[in-house]
């Protein structure tokens, strides 16, 4: 895509109602980070508590930026540079987003949920992309600046578009969904995540249900039928005027019903019923959660007018993103180990799903299944109990050894039987040191924790040790 310019001077002025300086220009992209500006980008100089984008406008131009949106002309930038001077640059970015949405003919899907948003978004990109030009949120740009940035990048010629909407407080999704105005709204699940900011999962469900407030007339809601908040979500969708409601899961009343799933180290084979239509296909990532969320993907694709068989076949190309279940084999002690990097983030539901994936995997001969788990954050008063409760899943899936890191994970360490306790560390660096000594050839190791637990450091330390770079 991007065969035609994304923004030109006239359209950007019309969208932002800003004052223009310099000559004519056209832009092929939009950026808010001077470090990643590509030639032809329109740079938006956002101001924040720690950084002021105006300090980097000159750097953006030096990298080939086509123009910049500013609130003031920086001292190191010529008044004759291609600028749009706006009253507020974040408001200007929002204006670009709304203008991009208004001119787009794409069929738009928005995704939210306590767990699985990014993976579901990536599957949707593949499924819809098999049917036509598809644009999707890059990475997890799902907040109050990431969503408008993603919308502002929406190519004019896209046939489909997928946006991820995130939140950790009530009221945050409402302005995002009203900006995106999706034709299809998907909720992957409602689980105890961000409980520090909510009194219950019922309140979390209400916050996720805000996504329905932006759905276009005649649109569709795709809901998790097995979730205990399904009735609440369904009622909220109907209250928002959505008549077309689809559901997915193992429940007998689910529109897309998961009959069975076979998980191997590299992929997941799915057997399902979509209405009365039997369907079998492969998802190129391992885990029951991939199977379940793939059903939501197919329902959203069907609601978007895409071919179901083509969409299902496209999911074989799915690969778990880095930090979200990506696997790699590393040389170790004259043999090898397999490492599952799920270090990007964590909640009770996502850790249980990762434990199940580890439990179904097959280590090499004499190898052990090992979990290295860091603190789950933002769980509030229930945090200690929720951490300790993970012992049940670890016992159920017969995980051989569990190493823990962080003050909250100590509760899990103490809840485990002695035979499963690998060791406890105060932080990720301490866990990394434990793992360098504990891992042996043939082991299969899972690393997972909330982003703030920095468990990615454990992954990096193991990779470096495998390369002899300790």
Contact 45, 92 (CB under 8 A): no
Can you give the residue ranges of every domain in the chain? 7-87, 104-317, 326-466
Mean per-residue pLDDT of the chain:
94
Buried b (16+ CB within 10 A) or exposed e, 89-109: bbebbbbbbbbbbeebebbbb
Mean pLDDT over residues 15-35, rounded? 95
Span 328-382, pLDDT tens digits: 899 998 899 999 998 988 889 889 989 998 998 888 888 999 999 999 988 888 8
Burial of 60: CB neighbours in 10 Å, binned 0-12, 13-18, 19+? buried
Identify the CATH assignment for 104-317 out of 3.40.50.2300, 3.40.1190.10, 3.20.20.70, 3.40.50.300. Answer: 3.40.1190.10
- Which CATH code is given to the segment(s) 7-87? 3.40.1390.10
Tell me, yes or no, if the two domains 104-317 and 326-466 fold the same way: no
56 touches 45 (CB < 8 A): yes
Lowest pLDDT segment from 90-94, 244-248, 260-264, 369-373: 260-264
pLDDT at 308 over 80: yes
Let me know: does 318 contact 285? Beta carbons within 8 Å. yes
* HEC per residue, 405-435: ECCCHHHHHHHCCHHHEEEEECCHHHHHHHH
What is the Cα–Cα distance from 374 to 454, expressed in whole angstroms? 8
Instruction: Domain 326-466: give its CATH architecture.
Output: Alpha-Beta Complex (3.90)
Measured between alpha carbons, how far is 264 from 417 in angstroms, rounded to an integer? 28
Tokens representing 153 are 């990048």
76-85, 305-314, 376-385: which has the minimum mean pLDDT? 376-385
* Phi, psi (deg, nearest 5) at residue 147: -70, -50
* pTM for this prediction: 0.87
């Amino acid at each position: 895509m991007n065969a035609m310019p994304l923004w030109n001077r006239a359209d950007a002025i019309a969208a932002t109602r800003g004052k223009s300086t310099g000559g004519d220009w056209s832009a092929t992209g939009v950026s808010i980070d001077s470090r990643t500006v590509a030639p032809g980008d329109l740079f938006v100089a956002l101001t924040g508590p720690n950084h002021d984008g105006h300090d980097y406008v000159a750097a953006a131009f030096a990298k080939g930026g086509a123009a910049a949106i500013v609130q003031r002309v920086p001292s190191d930038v010529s008044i004759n540079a291609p600028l749009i001077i706006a009253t507020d640059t974040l408001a200007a970015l929002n204006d670009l987003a709304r203008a991009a949405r208004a001119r787009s003919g794409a069929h738009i899907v928005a995704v939210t949920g306590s767990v699985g948003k990014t993976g579901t978004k990536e599957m949707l990109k593949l499924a819809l992309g098999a049917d036509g030009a598809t644009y999707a949120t890059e990475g997890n740009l799902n907040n109050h600046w990431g969503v408008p940035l993603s919308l502002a990048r929406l190519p004019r010629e896209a046939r489909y578009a997928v946006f991820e909407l995130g939140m950790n407080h009530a009221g945050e999704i409402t302005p995002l969904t009203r900006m995106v105005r999706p034709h299809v709204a998907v909720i992957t699940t409602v689980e105890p995540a961000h409980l520090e900011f909510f009194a219950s999962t019922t309140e979390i469900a209400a916050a996720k249900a805000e996504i329905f407030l932006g759905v276009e007339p005649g649109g569709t809601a795709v809901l998790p039928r097995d979730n205990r908040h399904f009735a609440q979500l369904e009622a909220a969708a109907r209250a928002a005027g959505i008549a077309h409601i689809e559901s997915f899961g193992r429940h007998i009343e689910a529109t897309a019903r998961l009959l069975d799933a076979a998980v191997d180290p590299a992929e997941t084979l799915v057997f399902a019923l979509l209405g009365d239509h039997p369907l079998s296909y492969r998802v190129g990532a391992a885990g029951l959660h991939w199977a379940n969320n793939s059903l939501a993907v197919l329902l959203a694709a069907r609601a978007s007018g895409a071919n179901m068989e083509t969409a299902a076949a496209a999911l074989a190309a799915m690969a778990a993103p880095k930090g979200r279940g990506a696997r790699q084999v590393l040389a170790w002690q004259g043999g090898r180990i397999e490492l599952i990097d799920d270090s990007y983030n964590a909640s009770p539901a996502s850790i249980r799903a990762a434990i199940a994936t580890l439990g179904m995997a097959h280590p090499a001969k004499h190898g052990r299944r090992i979990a290295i788990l860091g603190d789950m954050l933002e769980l509030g008063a229930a945090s200690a109990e929720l951490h300790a409760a993970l012992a049940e899943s670890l016992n159920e899936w017969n995980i051989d050894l569990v190493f823990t890191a962080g003050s909250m994970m100590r509760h899990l360490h103490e809840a485990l039987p002695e035979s499963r306790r690998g060791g406890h560390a105060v932080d990720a660096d301490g866990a990394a040191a434990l793992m360098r000594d504990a891992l042996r050839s043939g082991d299969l190791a899972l690393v997972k924790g909330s982003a703030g637990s920095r468990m990615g450091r454990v992954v990096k330390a193991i990779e470096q040790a495998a390369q002899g770079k300790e």
